[in-house]
Structure 1
Amino acid sequence: MTGIITQGEKRLVLASGRAHPQLAADVATELGTELLPTTAYDFANGEIYVRFAESVRGTDVFVLQSHTSPLNHWLMEQLLMIDALKRGSAKRITVVAPFFPYARQDKKHRGREPISARLVADLLKTAGADRLLSIDLHAAQTQGFFDGPVDHLWAMPILTDYVRTRVDLASAAVVSPDAGRIRVAEQWAERLGGVPLAFVHKTRDITRPNQAVANRVVGDVEGRTAILVDDLIDTGGTITEAVKVCLAAGASDVIVAATHGVLSDPAAKRLSESGAREVIVTDTLPIAPEKSFPQLTVLPIAPLLARAIREVFDDGSVTSLFEGV
Structure 2
Amino acid sequence: MLKFNGVELGLKQFPNGETLINGDEILTHMAEFNTIVWKYENDGDLVKLMFIKSYLDDRRVKCTLTIYYLPYSRMDRVEGTSAFTLKYTAAFINNMNFESVTIIEPHSDVSLALIDRSIGKYPTIQLLEQVANEVGFDSEMDYLFFPDAGAQKRYSKVQGYQQLVGYKARDFQTGQIKSLDVVGHTPSEGFKAIIVDDLCSYGGTFMLSAEKLKALGATHIYLLVGHCEHSIYKGKILETDLIDKVYTTDTILHQAEHDKIHIFAMGGL
For normalisation by structure 1, the TM-score amounts to 0.73
**Mapped partners of 2:200, 2:157: distance in 1:** 19
Counterparts of 1:238-257 in structure 2, within 5 Å, are 238-257=205-224
Quickly say closer, same or farther: Cα 1:39–1:184, change in 2 above 3 A: closer
In structure 1, how many angstroms separate the alpha carbons of the residues matched to 2:85 and 2:52? 21
> Could you say which structure has the higher helix fraction?
1
Q: Identity over the aligned pairs, expressed in percent?
A: 19
Which one-letter code corresponds to 1:239 in the other structure? F
Amino acid at match of 1:63: I
In structure 1, which of residues 126, 132, 143 is the aligned counterpart of residue 112 of structure 2?
143
2:126 is the alignment partner of 1:155: no
- Aligned equivalent of 2:13: 42
- Contact (CA 8 Å) 1:234, 1:267: kept in 2 or not? no
Deviations 1:258-288 (A, max 9, x none): 1011132544643342521111101112335
**1:164 and 2:132 equivalent?**
yes
Separation in structure 1 between the aligned mates of residue 250 and residue 211 of structure 2, nearest angstrom: 26
What corresponds to 1:263 in structure 2? 230
1:62 CA displacement:
0.5
Between 126-135 and 293-302, report the one with greater CA deviation: 126-135
Q: Does 1:62 align with 2:35?
A: yes
Aligned length: 263
**Pair 1:125-2:94 in alignment:** yes
Q: Return 5+ residue gaps in structure 1 as ranges.
A: 1-15, 18-23, 29-34, 307-325
CA shift digits 1:202-249 (9 cap, x unpaired): 22111213x214433223243211111100111211112211221122
Q: Which amino acid is 1:205 matched to?
A: D
Question: Are 1:208 and 2:178 counterparts?
Answer: no
The aligned counterpart of 1:237 is 204
Kindly report the root-mean-square deviation, in angstroms, between the aligned alpha carbons of the 2 structures: 2.5
TM-score by length of 2: 0.86
* Shift of residue 100, structure 1, vs aligned partner: 1.0
C-alpha distance 288-157 of structure 1, shift in aligned 2 (>3 A): closer
Residues 236 and 271 of structure 1 are in contact (CA less than 8 Å); yes or no, is this contact kept in structure 2? Answer: no
Call closer, same or farther: CA 1:230–1:41 in 2, change over 3 Å.
same
Alignment partners' CA distance in 2, 1:172 and 1:140: 29
Q: Secondary structure at the match of 2:231?
A: coil
Matches within 5 A, 1:87-102: 87-90=58-61, 92-102=62-72
Distance in 1 of aligned mates of 2:31 and 2:149: 47
The equivalent position to 1:179 in structure 2, one of 136, 139, 149, is 149
Q: Distance in 2 between matches of 1:237 and 1:287?
A: 22
Counterpart amino acid of residue 231 in structure 1 = D
In the aligned structure 2, how far is the partner of 1:174 from the partner of 1:73? 37
Is the 1:83–1:128 Cα contact (8 Å) retained in structure 2?
no
- Separation of aligned partners in 2, 1:250 and 1:263: 30
**Superimposed CA distance per residue, residues 141-191 of structure 1 (whole angstroms, 9 cap, x where no aligned partner):** 3212123x2121111343212123123323211111123322234224x2x
Residue 77 of structure 1, CA deviation: 1.8
1:52 is the counterpart of 2:11:
no
Q: 1:59 to 1:241 in 2, by over 3 A?
A: same
TM-superposed CA distance for 1:99, in Å, is 0.8
Q: 1:274 to 1:49 in 2, by over 3 A?
A: farther
Contact 1:214 1:242 (C-alpha < 8 Å) held by counterparts: no
In the TM superposition, residue 128 of structure 1 has moved relative to its aligned partner by: 4.0
Structure 2 equivalent of residue 225 of structure 1? 192
What's the CA shift string for 1:4-38, capped at 9, x where partnerless? xxxxxxxxxxxx62xxxxxx59x84xxxxxx27x4
1:57 and 1:88 in contact (8 A); partners too: no
- Aligned partner of 1:75 in structure 2 is 46
Selected match of 1:294 from 254, 259, 269 = 259
Q: Which residue of 2 aligns with 1:283?
A: 250
Aligned counterpart, 2:79: 109
Task: For structure 2, list consecutive stretches of 5 or more residues without a partner in the other structure.
Answer: none
State how far apart, in whole Å, the 1-side matches of 2:44 and 2:99 are: 22
1:9 corresponds to which residue?
Answer: none
Q: Distance in 1 between matches of 2:30 and 2:210?
A: 52
Match of 1:11 in 2: none
Return the alpha-carbon distance in structure 1 between the equivalents of residues 131 and 30 of structure 2.
Answer: 44
Structure 2 Cα separation of the partners of residues 273 and 80 of structure 1: 45
- Partner SS, residue 262 of structure 2: strand
Counterpart of 2:16 in structure 1: which amino acid?
N
